[in-house]
Amino acid sequence: MLRNTLALICLASCLNLAWAAGLESFDFSGNVEEQRYKDLLAEVRCLVCQNQSLIDSDADLAHDLRLEVYELMDQGRDDTEIRDFLVARYGDFVLYEPPIKPSTYLLWAGPFVLLALGIMMLIRTIRQRRQLQESQFSAEEQERLRQLLGNNPHEQEDRQ
């Protein structure tokens, strides 16, 4: 029991050290404001993870990009210049909210187009099912079916 406990403590401390080794520590006493830095990193997508911001990602590329952003901020560049630099290097996909322009129309309109197509298909399917339900046999076809099934009401009247 003691052995298992010690093994778990060692494993937990190793995992904690591995996690801490991936985080950078920057000096925010100079030109770089920590909150501005964090806000900017929250706007930029990790190109490896794609569903995490640079501030949340632990990928190697995210470490490099965080360092690049820090260095650009330390050089006195403003947020717009840094965003423009990242977009020029990695494309509009690097931003969580890419600008609306011809090259990103599909990105912005795509979900709405897919939703509209889905709604149109749903409406079409509902209409087709209603038509199938509403299409009943004509009076002649119903009579023929009764004769085939032996449920002719005229014959039943005659038998009584």
Listed residue (31, 38, 22) closest to 71, CA to CA = 31
Residue 65 domain boundaries: 28-99
- The structure tokens listed for 133 are 């339900």
The confidence score (pLDDT) of residue 122 equals 96
* Confidence (pTM): 0.55
User: Could you tell me if 85 and 112 lie in one domain?
Assistant: no
In a domain, 16, yes or no: no
The enclosing domain of 37 has a CATH number of 1.10.8.640
The token pair at 65 is: 């990009």
Same-domain pairing of 71 and 126: no
pLDDT (tens digit per residue) in 31-57: 778 888 989 999 998 888 878 888 888
Residues 94 and 35 in one domain: yes
DSSP state of 150: T
pLDDT higher than 90, residue 152: no
Given pLDDT bands bounded at 50, 70 and 90, which one contains residue 17? very low
